[in-house]
Structure 1
Amino acid sequence: MALNHILRLLLCLLTFKTGFSAEISVFVQTGASVQLDIQTQQLPEFELLLWMNNKSESIVRYNSDSKRVTPHDSYKDRVVFNDVTFSLTLKNMQKTDSGLYTARTIGSITRDLVSYRVSVIDSVEAPVLTVNSNWSSSDSCTVNFTCRAQELMINSSYQNNRCSPQEVTSQINTLILNCSEEYIICNHSNPVSWNEDRINIKELCIYKENELNNVQTVSSLVWPVVCSVALWILICLLVFLYFKYKKGAPEEVEGNTIYAQVEAEDQTQEKTGNDRPITVYWTLGQHKKPTIPNETDHTVYSEVHKHPNEKLSAISADDT
């Protein structure tokens, strides 16, 4: 604001001595009001004073004799004219109102007193500050972060309680990154507004330190749990194998071992040349024992094949 006042003073002196008029750049936020002042302190004699836009429309006409102020129809509800300082105030500015505005006197001569280049712009968007914390072996908190707003971006780091201030600009927008002992600050601004995002670095470092301690604590508890689970799995596996082996072991019935089981579903019939059925005998599950004197050998025979119409063959239970 101080710079604008200095520029206006210089233009006032220049215009007063030479009558030269130069453009003054003015930025207005959308929906706001703007006041346009005449810089010369002593005006020449005039009959009419006009404020005109870049379309050569008379926004307002002031007659010095009648002291009458006549606003343009399109600006009737938006314009305020000061008949003492001859300044013009425009309300509810829109982007379509951007352009050149000129104060002109008409009398014995016509003179342009001052011109304003008015730019109506929107307020800036809020910047976004994102943080990615990294931890070293020391107790210090080292933070990498990004400050971003629209097409502007700054990457930097916070270390040893400070960071390097940085600034980038694009046309009328400016992005500034700065740090203090407590905050990281990302500021986005233009000539009519500003917005910022900030992070408390002390709270962030304390939170990250607690998070790191929690991770270490959880890690120290994981191994005992894993070992316990592995031990239980091993015990269950051993019990399963034990019962499986015991179930598959041979069974003994009345001291005699059953070595095999034979299932016969079909009957096999062997015939001689005279077509007479012959019964075939098989020895099942016979266990050879050492020969003992005077001990009778008992062999059990089973009839496997027989003719359907023949009588059952006698089973010899005593073979000498």
Structure 2
Amino acid sequence: MSSTAVTSRFVLKGEDVTLDVQKPDIQEETIFEWKFKREDNVVRLVKDEVFVFTNYRGRVEFSSEDYSLLLKSLTEADSGVYTAVLFGDKDMKVAEYEVTVQVSPVHLTVKPVSSSSDSCNVTVTCSSQDSSISSTLTCDGGDCFLEGGERSEVTASATAFRVHVFDGSVICNHSNQVSWRQDRIEIDARCWPDVGKTLTVMNISSIVLLISVYFVICFIVYLNVSFYHQYSELETLMQALLLSNGIQIHFAVGCAFHCRELCILLHWY
């Protein structure tokens, strides 16, 4: 079988990829196939009839126009070599692809080693599905640094890691041929968790207290305004009634947040 150059294709997990070929000259007696790992049959074309093998039904689409193969919703298990082969008087390899399905999620974890009121040592680990790197983070008096400085590493699968400290956080960057991801953790929350909890409780308590005081003040103001209007209307009504009998009435209303007095002075003329 004649050979052809292998083309590398990197694909993010869950995405699709199309494998193209230079359309061969198909004779009536020839058969065209796509194979996986050189042994597993994917698609077969015989006399304009397309047959998709059981394991790949719903997972691939074959184009009868240009003989390309669409691989859908790829998983790690789909990584490997895909070969387009023409069988006839002389078998011929039309195209060959090495497909690598890469997973991008990255996770940063912190494991405490030692701590005191103003310092701490933790181990930070930046990991993906198939690889990871670790480093020691030290914080002393608010100054945090990674032992040995910024840490970078490229794995055998061409995955790159970078761990560094920036703006009060330890950060993990992860990249490969198809994507870039980042995870970060605030340093203070990991080194002095009790401080963070105390501040949170204090903030919540202060907010509740302020809201309570606000509503009490609003209620008192409402009562003052309500009583003032009620007694003003009462004064007008009483004066209208009593003056008709030669009686004059005066109301003196005093309002305060803690007490309220109503004084009625009657004067006869």
TM-score, length of structure 2 as denominator length: 0.48
Structure scoring higher RCO (CA < 8 A, sep ≥ 6) equals 2
Structure showing greater Rg: 1
